[in-house]
Structure 1
Amino acid sequence: MTSKIDSPPSYEDALHHPKYGDYPQQPQHGSSLPPPPSYSPSPGMYPGPPGYWGQDDVYRQTGMWAAPGFSPSTVPTTIPTLSAGVPASNPGEMEDFLSTQWESTSIRHAFIRKVYLILAAQIAVTFSVVAVFTFVEPVKLFVITYPGIYWASLVVYFVVYCILICCKEPRRRFPWNLVLLGIFTVALSYMSGAISSYYETKAVFVAMGITAVVCIAVTIFCFQTKVDFTSCGGFLSIAAILLMIIGIVTAIVLSFQYVPWLHMLYAAIGAIIYTLFLVYNTQLLIGNRELAISPEEYIYGALSLYVDVVHIFLFILQVSGAATE
């Protein structure tokens, strides 16, 4: 604490008795105030209070940025703005950005059309073969009599599928991938026809109709929904492994003629899992999700969708065939 003697004087004492320290003299009533100093800011200069930096009456342009570690040469001359990632001060770059977006969208649409054209041709071939194997009795008997052709088509299907998966990029000199895709389509079509020949015509028609409805509904859902299924790749992989394990267990159990309804349950689970795969691959094709395939990989896009559709048909055929029996 300070004593009363050391405390500062009151306003009246400081005003009438200047002996109390170096307190500034206050102007008397009636005296005129000195005029404020005049200044004329130059272009690019910011006016400020007099004496803020030394004797200058203006802010220097680099003065407000003066600090240790900052040089006057690094002073920004414009204030940056954000407008879709392009500076608003340059409208030409904005037009280039929008044109680039439009070109990428048109490329994606052309890619989708190409994939679905290839897919439509594959499905047409497959269901034509299934129809021949179902309605033409000599062909049905031939397939049932010689099952070795079915196993040969299964080997061709597996080998060509592995080649197409490993070589997704299209060839420029000769469309080898298209040729392999045609061989793959014929092999899988023969497998589908051979399996269909063991079922009644009614069951085959029911399976075709349900497959068509499911595929159309899934396609419309994928183009309209905002839910991203491309982030569920790990879940689908686990589901595929479980489906394979359930298939092996079902084959062992049915060989001893236990639990006859287990085959229908396995087919229903398989149809659901491959429907989810169809959703996943369709959203990869669309390209506005977390993951997408390149527009150059149209062979891979058509291949993945075609395999999903055919497997959905085969699983639903097993369910409808068991139901009709």
Structure 2
Amino acid sequence: MYANYNDSMEAGIQQPNMDQFDAFSNKSVRLAFIRKVYGILSLQLAITMGFVLAFTLSDEVKGFAVRNSWMLFVALGFSLVSLITLACCGVHRTYPSNLVCLGIFTLAESVMIGFTTVFRGTEIVLYAVAITAVIVISLTLFAFQTKVDFTAFNGILFVCLMVFMLFGILMIFIKGKTMMLIYSALGALLFSAYLVVDTQMIVGGNHKLQFSPEDYILGAITLYVDIINIFIHILQLLDIATRS
């Protein structure tokens, strides 16, 4: 459900031209861009966490979700349409359309994540949140301070993503706990690698690939999608492990 989002993100990412290098050579511009990205990302994650807690802890919300499962497909539709609009139509640089699409995308994703946690135990969901938080913070700090340019491996990661998506299609026809464990573990690993690459693209500097200073909306969504994918696969891993 979530693996194809990084494909749309790739459409809006290019090697920076000289104007972008000039913009990012100004420390204040780069720091302002980073603050915008992580400010938006924090708000997105706070909204999603609110939905996760509501769907996990409230019996009334759980009952509503079970009775209205059609909302999951509506949310999926809004999520895909808003994401494609932002990533492929240049709306992410147009105010206030970018904020409207961002709000729709975040709410739709939050509803979908909420539905994903409904049938999981409360402890499993909270453990998944905690593990995801540790992974994200650790990888973000690593990406900020390492001198290795991981953006140079973006093409390899894209190939791995294509293989992972084909693996996901195969999983529709092949059932089994072992296969699901492998799939979830690979998914968590793949999107952890994407988180490092995307973080370095936001940091800028001497990295081969980087976001333009005007792409703060796209940068925030890219990190958000990475984190959501990590959470989903960690949640699946814990759920399968506890049922074994």
TM-score (norm 2): 0.87
- Equivalent residue number for residue 235 of structure 2: 317
TM-superposed deviation, 1:249: 1.1
More helix by share: 2
- Equivalent residue number for residue 279 of structure 1: 196
Cα distance change on mapping 1:324 and 1:102 into 2, 3 Å: closer
TM-superposed deviation, 1:262: 1.1
Matches of 1:149 and 1:177 in 2, distance apart? 24
Provide, for residues 112-161 of structure 1, a one-character-per-residue CA deviation record: whole Å limited to 9, x for no partner. 01110100000000011000000001211221232211011111111111
SS at match of 1:261: helix
Provide, for residues 77-109 of structure 1, a one-character-per-residue CA deviation record: whole Å limited to 9, x for no partner. xxxxxxxxxxxxxxxxxxxxxxx8997111101
Cα distance change on mapping 1:248 and 1:107 into 2, 3 Å: same
Instruction: Report which of the two structures shows the higher radius of gyration computed on alpha carbons.
Output: 1
Matches of 1:198 and 1:269 in 2, distance apart? 23
- Equivalent residue number for residue 267 of structure 1: 184
Cα distance change on mapping 1:233 and 1:260 into 2, 3 Å: same
Please tell me the residue identity of whatever aligns with 2:85.
I
In the alignment, is the contact (CA less than 8 A) between 2:24 and 2:30 conserved in 1?
A: no
The alignment-based identity, stated in percent, is: 40
Aligned length: 220
TM-superposed deviation, 1:206: 0.7
Matches of 1:164 and 1:107 in 2, distance apart? 23
SS at match of 1:233: helix
Return structure 1 stretches of 4+ with deviation > 4 angstroms. Answer: 100-103
From 86, 93, 98, give the equivalent of 1:170.
93
The runs of 5 or more residues in structure 1 that have no matched partner are: 1-99
Matches of 1:181 and 1:101 in 2, distance apart? 25
Instruction: Give the 5 Å matches for 1:61-100.
Output: none
- Equivalent residue number for residue 143 of structure 1: 65
Cα distance change on mapping 1:112 and 1:146 into 2, 3 Å: same
The runs of 5 or more residues in structure 2 that have no matched partner are: 1-21
TM-superposed deviation, 1:265: 1.4
SS at match of 2:192: helix
Matches of 2:117 and 2:199 in 1, distance apart? 26
TM-superposed deviation, 1:168: 5.2
In the alignment, structure 1 residue 159 sits paired with structure 2 residue 76: no
Please tell me the residue identity of whatever aligns with 1:170.
R
Provide, for residues 13-65 of structure 1, a one-character-per-residue CA deviation record: whole Å limited to 9, x for no partner. xxxxxxxxxxxxxxxxxxxxxxxxxxxxxxxxxxxxxxxxxxxxxxxxxxxxx
TM-superposed deviation, 1:324: 2.0
Matches of 1:283 and 1:168 in 2, distance apart? 23
TM-score (norm 1): 0.65
Tell me which of the two structures has the higher relative contact order, counting C-alpha pairs closer than 8 angstroms and 6 or more residues apart: 2
- Equivalent residue number for residue 233 of structure 1: 154
Cα distance change on mapping 1:193 and 1:102 into 2, 3 Å: closer
Matches of 1:215 and 1:141 in 2, distance apart? 31
